[in-house]
Amino acid sequence: MASSSAPQHSSPPPSSSSSSTYYEIPWVEKYRPTKVADVVGNTDAVSRLQVIARDGNMPNIILSGPPGTGKTTSILALAHELLGPHCREAVLELNASDDRGIDVVRNRIKMFAQKKVTLPPGRHKLIILDEADSMTSGAQQALRRTMEIYSNTTRFALACNTSSKIIEPIQSRCALVRFSRLSDQEILSRLLTVLEAEKVMERFCIGT
């Protein structure tokens, strides 16, 4: 769950004739934060990421915790803060449970690490691997070598449910940030904020 002070809005349809093609952004994306400070819950983890955003000194990171706790949202928000308008070309996000074999590391990840992107001084390209603990051992060994070779230009963020399933040579090269489940109150508070922004209760009352 996450909050955002500036929700994204899709453009309104230019005319009624084109209303059938009007695309409404899902709320989970519309209210996804672009700043680390807007992430709900996990105060300690968020504080650590805020320090990185402030100082600009991005290490390789393992984000460990249950699904739905804000790991990927947090690292994407950090990428937005560090890279700004360069985010689109300087960030590669992969779901390692789908792309978990060694060929993905040798091809897509290595090719992105080799790609030249002009960034502000002290900034690096970022490769985000969701569900990294599902990667095969061979893929993780190949990833370790890639992390070493391209350490001057590329940083890695590995989101996983269980950090112990990441091989030790990778763990030793990463900062570990732990996430835990959000409380019911944190979830409820965020949901009420979204409902208010969308005027859901107002429309419900009018409808009844």
Residue boundaries of the structural domains of the chain: 32-181
Q: What is the pLDDT of residue 156?
A: 98
Q: What is the pLDDT of residue 103?
A: 78
Q: What is the pLDDT of residue 105?
A: 80
Q: What is the pLDDT of residue 4?
A: 46
Phi-psi label, residue 65: left if phi above 0, alpha if psi -120 to 50, beta otherwise = left
Task: Count CB-CB contacts under 10 A for residue 204.
Answer: 10
Q: What is the pLDDT of residue 24?
A: 82
Q: What is the pLDDT of residue 185?
A: 95
Give, for all 208 residues of the chain, the pLDDT tens digit: 454 444 554 444 444 444 445 568 898 889 888 899 999 999 999 999 999 999 999 999 999 999 999 999 999 999 999 999 999 999 999 987 776 667 778 888 999 999 999 999 999 999 999 999 988 888 899 999 999 999 999 999 999 999 999 999 999 999 999 999 999 999 999 999 899 988 887 766 665 5
Long-range contacts of 3-7 (CB under 8 A, 24+ apart): 3/31, 3/33, 3/38, 3/39, 3/40, 3/190, 3/193, 4/31, 4/32, 4/33, 4/34, 4/35, 4/38, 5/33, 5/35, 5/38, 6/34, 7/31, 7/197
Q: What is the pLDDT of residue 99?
A: 61
> Coil, strand or helix: which one is 25?
coil
CATH 2.130.10.10 corresponds to the domain 32-181: no
Q: What is the pLDDT of residue 101?
A: 67
Q: What is the pLDDT of residue 13?
A: 46
How many whole angstroms separate alpha carbon 40 and alpha carbon 60? Answer: 23
Q: What is the pLDDT of residue 16?
A: 45
